[in-house]
Amino acid sequence: MAGSTNHDYHILAPDYLPFLGSVSALTMTTGGVISMHPDVLGGAGKYVLLLGFAGVLLTMFLWWSKVIREAHEGHHTPVVQLHLRYGMITFIASEVMFFVGWFWAFFDFSLFPSTMSDVVGGQWPPKAIEHVMDAFDLPLLNTLILLCSGCTVTWAHHSLIHGDRDGLKKGLLATILLGILFSAIQAYEYAHAPFAFGQNTYGSAFYMATGFHGFHVIVGTIFLIVCLIRAYKGDFTPKQHFGFEAAAWYWHFVDVVWLFLFIWIYVWGGWGYPVH
């Protein structure tokens, strides 16, 4: 019949959301730059930034709502699901390279302190740092929390695959609570840190690496909350649950990054130095 579909691909109709997302991203970045120059636009840069940020959030909500609706309409064939997985893998790979940059900076500062003797005093951590974080106090607790959260999200995944929706909900809820607990402990750690951000290379590298990870934990927690809401609405089946699978992959990525942060920045980066 004319107009019938005889392939496994989903051909998308023209949409305004890519344009809205592009304009919003441009507005947000432009506002961020302008906000760093208070004399431009009479200090209105922060409002431009907020406007662009709101547009980005709106784009995400509308776009992902359409993706969910397309899944309910049966457009996510096995081939489409496979390509969605490829997209998520590529995204996580880009995130890996993002964190490689912060690790690279930390290793460069720590392994070659003599090249920055005028900044760090030829030693690492710098002389200006009197104490470092005790890796085997709150950071170790947070490591155990994230490892447990990796187990609970895996429990939820296996429950979904085997048709146990009650286990899916409980596993997701446990993972969300552990994620919130991790963020709360890290906020407490920052509030009582013995060094500040931006005073030297150690503080900058430490806060940028761990802070961006904390941001990813918050994003992952929101991702899992959305999955929990969808689970209560009856979404996800053992054969079609890419939304949950993507959230689980993202959460495991967050876990692995933290293990590297704990080992290299908390333990190795402050080894033998007085702890706070």
The ranges assigned to domains in the chain are 9-75, 77-268
At 186, list the tokens. 């890290």
Using CA atoms, how far residue 48 sits from 23, 74, 119, 214, in Å, is: 12, 39, 36, 26
pLDDT of res. 122: 66
Q: What was the pLDDT predicted at 28?
A: 95
| Contact residues for 178 (Cβ-Cβ < 8 A; gap 6+) | 145, 146, 148, 149, 152
Q: What is the pLDDT of residue 84?
A: 92
Averaged over 163-176, what is the pLDDT?
96
Architecture, CATH, for domain 77-268: Up-down Bundle (1.20)
The CATH code of the domain at 9-75 is 1.10.287.70
pLDDT tens digits, residue range 107-122?
888 887 766 555 556 6
Closest to 32 in 3D by CA, of 44, 17, 21, 22: 44
Angle at 9 between CA 5 and CA 11, to 5 degrees: 80
Residue 79 token pair: 């081939």
Helices (H), the chain: 17-35, 45-72, 78-111, 117-120, 138-161, 165-191, 201-232, 242-260
pLDDT of amino acid 130:
80
Q: Phi/psi of residue 6, each to 5°?
A: -125, 30
pLDDT at residue 135 tops 80: yes
Burial of 7 (0-12, 13-18, 19+ CB in 10 A): exposed
- Tell me the pLDDT tens digit for each residue of 57-91: 999 999 999 999 998 888 888 899 899 999 999 99
State the pLDDT at residue 54.
Answer: 97
pLDDT surpassing 90 at residue 9? no
Contact 25, 56 (CB under 8 A): yes
